[in-house]
Amino acid sequence: MVAKRVVVWVISIAVGMAAGYATVAAFGTSVNRYAVDLNFGMLDFLINNFTFLCLSYAALLWIWLDYFLGTEMMPE
């Protein structure tokens, strides 16, 4: 069961990142264009719209992988 859960997390994060980059590339722009300029150093990289785009793709995939692989991480 733990192996299935790790697979769900790894695949959802990897595909979420790939889908985020694909979306940005499809619109012919760059990741830096959507960065938030807060002057907090590394925190600027973590808090930006691209991160939330990838997170939304990963969350959608995580829900479906959880259902199909039967890992039962989501409550009934």
What average pLDDT does range 27-48 have in this prediction?
76
Residue 19 lies in a domain: yes
Q: Within a 10 A sphere around the Cβ of 32, how many other Cβ atoms?
A: 9
For 64, the domain range is: 2-69
Number of domains in the chain: 1
Residue 74 lies in a domain: no
Between 36 and 9, the higher pLDDT residue: 9
- 50-76 confidence digits (pLDDT tens): 888 999 999 999 999 999 988 888 777
User: In whole angstroms, what is the distance from residue 37 CA to residue 49 CA?
Assistant: 11
- 14-35 confidence digits (pLDDT tens): 999 999 999 999 998 887 777 7
The whole-model pTM stands at: 0.81
Residue 10 lies in a domain: yes
Instruction: Select from 62, 71, 61 the least CA-distant residue to 5.
Output: 71
- The position carrying tokens 């990963």 is 58
Residue 58 lies in a domain: yes
Residue 76 lies in a domain: no
Between 3 and 43, the higher pLDDT residue: 3
